[in-house]
Structure 1
């Protein structure tokens, strides 16, 4: 078990000289960190929104990775298995705009016929994206009592990451693929935000799993946080965050990504059953990535802070392995 400090007041991520602010290390129930990053040095900024509906899964990425902006719009038709995907690489992340705080301000990314526009307000976010054959126009309201997980992961004073994992957000709007418009209803759809700001080691691997359903969500991570004293593991019940301060064991078959995954540890016993594998690769020499993201259903349980086991059967989402050289 880790002994992480809960942060309850706004705090700068960095000291004036750009090193990690020791007062920023910990976790929070709402975004409280100001990502005052300076300059280069493998500095990474991104916003990822994943949206699950009964018929489709949508993934939107806007990112600045120092050398390049790597942006993508992805749509999976759950009924047919057909993927629609557009990724663009913009040298030196030109025309990219990121705010310093999660949940406040504007996100903009464009290039190569793709655009992502996100407006963040206290009451929610407007998410719009266009790519060849795809249009996304969504609202993700932010309920008053809804909590998210913010965590600072420290490798050392010059390599660190601030992440916000916001799960189970209601979402509504329209997805258009080709000539067909699909209405998205908050009754049976949800959105997940991964907000990232930090300075990373050059080569790293991570695992991430996120699943949501009515009244429950599970957020699990691994590898990249191991040994840092911080974790990004949490259970959400009716919008309330239950922080899980333990490194977890991940078991899966990298020769057959569609076999069931097992994720276990203190307060967590989860199986993930994939129904589709998405493979994303980028190779720009100094910058390379390979991600196997599987979409599927969860079974098992996780414990709340008071020890009650929460059933996770039927949650829908993803589990992934990502390998980065950046």
Structure 2
């Protein structure tokens, strides 16, 4: 289904003074323009996820507040050996978690369960430090001039809605320490992806998300299920930092009995094939909070249309595709 989504070009509050969705906030942006002035407790969700891909490793850093609990985590995959290092900390009622209302601005911090995440966000970039037993990550993620990101507000109703900011293909440098070994991360062959989320969710939710990049070049951002029927989508292609919006609900095809089989994501303006090389499984069951995510890392191929019939090849992009199911 093709959508007709308005582009927002001026700063806007996500919520009205009474906490309901601001109708003027529904649309998409090329840079962070929404201020998530959320009110209330119990359905509000806030998170920052940074995913980093290097030739040797894939790194994931999370700081979040789900109201009932805070979750902070550091994940590392060794692409050579397949070894995973996953450290998670849960904090009751997200005590002490700091997640500012605007993307790319302010300080993010969360700690608990032996995991600490600190992110300093400025106009020229972000600085990330995450520590956990046996793992330490220090990253510098500059924001190149003219670099665009995809911001979208998805409205389920005037009381349930989500603002998501997906920022792909950012250059990244720094270091990763695993035990006694230290690995340098170079911007020449590595990239970072940000998923910034603020909103008020239904109790039960499911989504698909895929992101693929090549250092200094193309990127593809795709989502599904959770946006269906809302009139908004989170689909886009980036070329040299410039966003090309795909206003279309896409078809996702994959085997839930064998997550490592190739995935297909298709539409009128996109035909993407994703071939996984590793599956990460994350499960949580805390009674009122429960979830299961299958995040596969792999390679993209295929094409996307960016206007006037021009196609961008997706071959060579590296990233992930996932399915998540949550009760929260």
Q: Tell me how far apart the structure 2 counterparts of residues 290 and 325 of structure 1 sit (CA, whole Å).
A: 9
Q: Which runs of 4+ in 1 moved over 3 A?
A: none
Equivalent residue for 2:97? 96
CA distance in 2, matches of 1:149, 1:133: 34
> Partner of 1:241 in structure 2?
243
Distance 2:105 2:117 in 1: 16
Structure 1 unmatched runs, 5+: none
Residue 21 in 1 paired to residue 11 in 2?
no
CA–CA distance in 1 between the matches of 2:59 and 2:197? 19
Alignment match, 2:161: 160
Q: Extract unaligned runs of 5+ from structure 2.
A: none
User: Could you say what secondary structure the match of 2:307 adopts?
Assistant: coil
Asked whether 1:271 is paired with 2:283, we answer: no
Q: What is the deviation of 1:123?
A: 0.4
For residues 82 and 247 of structure 2, the distance between their equivalents in structure 1, rounded to whole angstroms, comes to: 36
How many residue pairs get aligned? The number is 326
| 1:4-48: CA deviation from partner (whole Å, max 9, x where unpaired) | 000000000000000000000000000000000012131000000
3-state SS in 2 of match to 1:322: strand
1:89 Cα deviation from its structure 2 partner: 1.0
Alpha-carbon distance between aligned partners in 1 of 2:142 and 2:307, rounded to the nearest angstrom: 26
1:12 maps to 13
TM-score computed with the length of structure 2 as normaliser: 0.99
- Please give the TM-score of this superposition, normalised by the length of structure 1: 0.99
Q: 1:250 matched to which residue of 2? A: 252
- Is 1:312 equivalent to 2:326 in the alignment? no
For each residue in 1:289-322, what CA deviation from the matched residue of structure 2 results, as whole angstroms up to 9, or x when unmatched? Answer: 1000000000001111333100010100000000
Q: Shift of the alpha carbon at 1:281?
A: 0.5
1:161-187: CA deviation from partner (whole Å, max 9, x where unpaired): 000000000000001111111000000
SS in 1 for 2:100: coil
What is the alpha-carbon distance in structure 1 between the residues aligned to residue 11 and residue 126 of structure 2?
Answer: 21
Distance 1:293 1:63 in 2: 18
Structure 2 CA distance for aligned equivalents of residues 231 and 199 of structure 1: 17
CA contact (8 A) 1:67 1:92 kept: yes
